[in-house]
A and B are shown apart, each in its own frame.
Chain A
Amino acid sequence: MTEIVLNEALSEVSLLVVSAALAFLALSLVLFSFQLVKLNSDENLDNSEFSQVEKIGFVMLWISTIVLGVGVVLRGIAAGRVPWANMYEFSISGAFLILLVYLTALKIKDLRFIATFIAGFALITLFAAVSLFYVEVQTIMPALQSYWLVIHVVVAIMATGFFSVAAGLHLFYLLKASGKAERLFARFPDLKQLERVAYRFNVVGFVLWSFTLIAGAIWAERAWHRYWGWDTKEVWTFIIWVLYAGYLHAMATRGWNGKRAAWLGLIAFLSVIFNFTIVNLFFKGLHVYSGL
């Protein structure tokens, strides 16, 4: 492997750009929340079109996504490799992909109502990245020098993007089904539709997750001489796969779709978050790439 010269000045610029994206994201979250408050207070407000507030909110969200994309690319250039080799980088790339998945989906389907959730979730991810997970650009350890890093990790992050949109839908499904804030939730799509859209996102996420599991096994065979060894990260990848498989079965089982399936989808997503945070930072294993 040839020596890579890290560009630390550029990495500083990248951090600034990511922080700017964070600010735009916060702004859009405020606007989306404001829109929800308005919808809640005024029953006669027309919600079939983008309101002025929403429009500005989505412009902010787009700007945030593009700026974040620039920050991610700069980080990659500064490091001389793909920008997803430690937790800071997983987080910024992850937040970018989540936003991209959501904004793309929005072109196909009216998913405005989960904008607060998506913006909020991406905001938390980015905030954690900048404040908790930040590390300077580093040379990459030999164990990570493989093209599987590109494939295995990016697909895992993409799967997480799809799962998180679905999780937002599950959350709203459960809130709506609980009958609280009825006036507000009456504005949202009906339960059947929430369930259906969540299912579609989870389906794509599940296929991607299956792929990343297989890609990880191929890489593990190259790097650690066995394709599967119940390393803590492998255990949790398996648990998440089984939970989402359970969710898919629940959706096809009478009496288990609806609320129960939504809960299951949420629990599966919480496992994804657990796998990314707690397992990365506190569990002993071979996937020690948090960089912290």
Chain B
Amino acid sequence: MASSFLSKALFWPRWFWRQLTSMRNALLLLLLLAIAAVPGSVYPQRSADPNGVRVFYDNQPELAAVLDSLQLFDVYTSVWFSAIYILLFVSLVGCVLPRTKIHFRALLAKPVTTPQNLKRMPEHSEATGGPELVERAFQVLKKRGFRVEKQNNSVSAEKGYLKETGNLLFHYALVAVLIAIGLGGGYSFSGQRVLVEGDTFVNNLASYDSFSPGPLFSPGSLEPFRMTLDEFDVLYDLANRNNIGNPIDFVATVSTEIDGQASTTDIRVNYPLEAAGANVYLTGNGFAPVITVTDGQGDISFSGPVVFLPQDSNMTSLGVIKTPDSLPEQLGLIAFFYPTAEKLTTGAYTSIYPDPISPLMTMNVYTGDLGLDSGIPRNVFALDTTNMELVAGRNGPAPAIELEVGQSAELPNGLGQVRFDGLLRFASLDIAHNPGGIWVLLFALIALGSLALSLMVPRRRIWVRSNADGTIEFAALSKRDDPNLNAVLEDVVAEITAEEDK
């Protein structure tokens, strides 16, 4: 009574499980996964291109909101994408576990009983010969790595268990890859830091400009190391006329102190610095002009290198200087830097080469309220000019300030003085660590190897039987399509019968 109730209650779960773990379902889930991955290449993704999402929101706010509610900006962490791959993996495990049990039994089992009618096999041939050939067949097949068993007047042989082993291992390795991705991502972190030549980075949370840890990351796991950017060099192509000005190498020379060991190394694109518990990658660079601003009372209100953001391939760069402590009024400077300046007919400047051959800086000067006192965080790379007045610049009351390296200029209205002290470069660095990476690689390689085994090793059965009428039969069967089966059997037959001729 109880058991029949139980079996009734379990009918639908069992049915569902059977459906889920069927091959057809695995196939459908795979196709669904492929389709579900497509939108992530069409719409910008927060993980890969957060700026693209922002731009999308600016251009089409209504559509963006709809897409966002469908998680189309976070496709690969979305509920629906996750649901598909989790179901796929559940289905995979449900399919592979029972197959593993069967395969283990098959590994321990003896070869099958020789079938009654060997003529029905896909490959079959006959010869004349006595029972001694069966004995020889046993030796020949054994030497060829078959698992062989003598059965009365016949030999049954089987080979290619590695095929199923490879197939199962491949699927388990995929599960391991997924787990390694998940755990590795959890303990991973990546952070960004901009270093001007001469700056030092010390690996602790406060030193990062931005930092994104995985959910399982703990700040205590950051290992201490120091790194000073001594020099940043860009190598330009000078040898090839059509490519002049194309960068061919970026080299950040750094002094490091890792585990108490001091040394000097280069960081280049594709060649990160391997520091303690993290790698340091070179991701960008630009100019950092050193600027000193003296206010109307003769006090220095700003002095130091300013990171300028590159605007084009010839490194026209844009920087912003804010001096909230200037007297009598706060100053804001929007500065353009041209490494190799050329004057256009309009009077504006442009850079015609990315290396500083004739560097020039132009500045627009604003006075008024910088908006820094309200406590709202402000972008250091942008100047909010709503409460400010343009006092010098193109279209301003006084012309824009133009400075070469080493020059200084008076600001209008007795606001002070600005000086272009020198030119440094900066490097944008990513400091990142993912402890899962090496495991993902390991399991991916196991998957690759076992995939090759599973797809390329044939599973074959061969039977040899001597009949009472003085004939001997040979037959072969393969688990899948096997164009070489015929050749293999012929080869085996030739070897067995050839030995008899000796």
Contact = CB atoms under 8 A, between A and B. Distances in A.
A139 B246 contact: yes
A146 to B, nearest CB: 4
Given A4-B239, A138-B242, A249-B27, A210 B269 contact: no
A143 interface: yes
A222 B271 contact: yes
A190 interface: no
A196 interface: yes
* Max count, chain A CB within 10 A of own CB: residue among B38, B41, B75: B41
Contacts of A226: 190, 432, 434
Contact of B45 (A143, A199, A230, A249): A230
Interface stretch (A69-77, A114-122, A233-241): A233-241
B455 A225 contact: no
A39 interface: no
A211 interface: yes
A225 B432 contact: yes
A222 B444 CA distance: 17
Given A138-B243, A214-B441, A223-B270, A1 B447 contact: no
A16 B271 CA distance: 37
Nearest to B37: A239
Contacts of A232: 41
Given A214-B448, A284-B44, A284-B52, A252 B441 contact: no
A213 to B, nearest CB: 8
Nearest to A246: B30
Nearest to A1: B249
Given A242-B37, A243-B34, A141 B48 contact: no
Nearest to B75: A230
How many chain B residues sit at the interface, stated as a range, is 35 or more
A139 B240 contact: yes
Contacts of B238: 3
Contact of A140 (B242, B248, B268): B248
Interface residues of A, number: 60
Nearest to B30: A246
B331 interface: no
A230 B456 CA distance: 31
Interface string A235-267: 110110011011011101101100000001000
Interface in B14-62: 23-24, 26-27, 30-31, 33-34, 37-38, 40-41, 44-45, 47-49, 52
A283 B41 contact: yes
A138 B246 contact: yes
B331 to A, nearest CB: 38
A80 B4 CA distance: 77
Contacts of A255: 24
A9 B240 CA distance: 12
A196 B246 contact: no
B430 interface: yes
A227 interface: yes
Contacts of A228: 181
Nearest to B440: A227
A210 B451 contact: yes
* Max count, chain B CB within 10 A of own CB: residue among A1, A210, A232, A242: A242
B312 to A, nearest CB: 16
Interface string A120-146: 000000000000000010111111011
A99 interface: no
* Max count, chain B CB within 10 A of own CB: residue among A211, A225, A230, A245: A225
Nearest to B44: A284
Contact of B30 (A5, A242, A284): A242
Contacts of B33: 242
B292 to A, nearest CB: 34
B237 interface: yes
Contacts of B235: 1, 3
B242 A223 contact: no
A102 to B, nearest CB: 18
Contacts of A191: none
Interface string B238-260: 11101100111110000000000
B305 to A, nearest CB: 24
Nearest to B77: A230
Contacts of B30: 242-243, 245-246, 249
A207 interface: yes
A231 interface: yes
Given A145-B269, A225-B281, A196 B481 contact: yes
A36 interface: no
B269 A142 contact: yes
Contacts of A225: 190, 272, 279, 281, 283, 430, 432
Interface of A: 1, 3-6, 8, 136, 138-143, 145-146, 148, 196, 199-200, 203, 206-207, 210-211, 214, 217-219, 221-232, 235-236, 238-239, 242-243, 245-246, 248-250, 252-253, 255-256, 264, 279, 283-285
22 contacts: A1-B248, A3-B238, A6-B239, A141-B247, A142-B247, A145-B248, A206-B455, A214-B441, A217-B440, A223-B269, A225-B281, A227-B434, A227-B441, A230-B76, A235-B38, A235-B40, A246-B27, A246-B31, A249-B23, A249-B30, A252-B23, A253-B23
Given A242-B37, A243-B34, 4 more contacts: A138-B243, A145-B270, A203-B456, A284-B52
Interface of B: 23-24, 26-27, 30-31, 33-34, 37-38, 40-41, 44-45, 47-49, 52, 75-76, 181, 190, 235, 237-240, 242-243, 246-250, 268-272, 279, 281, 283, 430, 432, 434, 437, 440-441, 444-445, 447-448, 451-452, 455-456, 481, 483
